[in-house]
Amino acid sequence: MATQSGKDIVYKFYNCRILKNHKIYWDDLWVRDGTILDPQKCFYGEVINPDVKVDCGERLIAAGYIETQINGAYGVDFSDSHAADLHDVERGIMKVAKGLLSHGVTSFCPTLVTSPPAFYQRVVPHIKKREGNSDGAGILGIHLEGPFISKEKKGAHPEQFIVSDLTNGSSSQPSHALEEVYGNEFYSNTAIITMAPELPGALDVIRQLTNMKDIRVSIGHSVGTIKDGEKAVLAGANYITHLFNAMLPFHHRDPGLVGLLTSWKLPKDTEIYYGIIADGIHTHPATMRIAHRTNPNGIILVSDSMCAAGLDTGNYSIGQLSVEVKENKAVLSGTNTLAGSIAFLDQCVRKFYKDTECSLVEAIEAATLHPARLLKIQDRKGTLDFGSDADFIILDDELNIMSTYIAGECVYSGG
């Protein structure tokens, strides 16, 4: 198997199908020094042969899954304010990062739900971006899902810490309100911020954040109308957090944020991505089919998993709130309010593929290429293009994960 210490060693994965350029081909995959090679250059430019050959048994090779919304798993809650110290936070994240390898996830965005400012300011600086390896999936940056959201659509977010106004800063520095909550260091560690677009000051903050290279603004947990959503997209937002969940329901006179999928008020080249929790609980199959058939290129599958993922039924927590897991779903204790999922991303891919009857390519790209495009890292992640990172998975015909590779190294093997 490929190893990161094997610098300059050329690996050839053969007897396989490869998902590339929106199609599946019978082809070989060549890897050297953690990067996908152009075999023609190997043959004709350098005149070299592979040092190691890997027979894939006619299975499918695809880019590694990219998870943009995950609250925890395996007993770890990323928003746990009771963690003894920062070492516990870091150990917890790495425990989840390691577990995700068996689910084909090679990169992810640890997600923090609405929490008190003291928690953010203590924890956010210590969740740093990192490349993946045998210790776990890579971290692409934090997804800050709150606290700038609507109290009416708070879901599993504690109302006492929700901030409903972003106008605290000066006109020249509208993001001052964010710094008061997250601290001054959040910029470098953050990939996505979810906020409700109808909040006072939200549009100014969106404009400022989206001028930064590495931060994407997602709209969600909102009572915003379609006009609110259109203004947010024109200001620079390009993602919708878990479409259909924690937002106004679709209505024929005002479709709300759902209407952004077909809005004519936006330029035709506008790219809008939207998360779907395809766990069989959060989104009905017919609803997923409507979204997929309306805007197939924007769909991004997310697990939205919480700390009970990978564990048995029982009592848990997410952030400041108690959660009960029963009947294959997580709800706030004493209520029917969903509190994240207990599924993993590979399960969501299989469920989405089955329930929408989309193509195999569409199902996989919704967890690979699309999130990479959202985060603007498609030059190195989410594809098998020549020169991209050799982060990939080997799947059987039922989309079960057989092996996971990061930088050409086999970091998980299950079959």
| Annotated binding-site members for substrate | 156, 245-246, 253, 282, 338-340
Catalytic-residue membership of 304: yes
Of the residues 228, 304, 389, 391, only one is catalytic, namely 304
Overall size of the chain counted in residues: 415
Q: Which of 260, 257, 259, 233 is nearest to 246 (CA)?
A: 257
As to burial, measured by CB atoms within 10 angstroms (0-12 exposed, 13-18 middle, 19+ buried), residue 326 is exposed
Question: What are the binding residues for Zn(2+)?
Answer: 145, 221, 242
Q: Which of 13, 18, 32 is nearest to 408 (CA)?
A: 32
Report whether 36 contacts 30 (CB < 8 A). Answer: yes
Q: Which residue has the tokens 């989840």?
A: 96
Q: Can you read off the two tokens belonging to residue 286?
A: 């017919």
Active site residues: 304
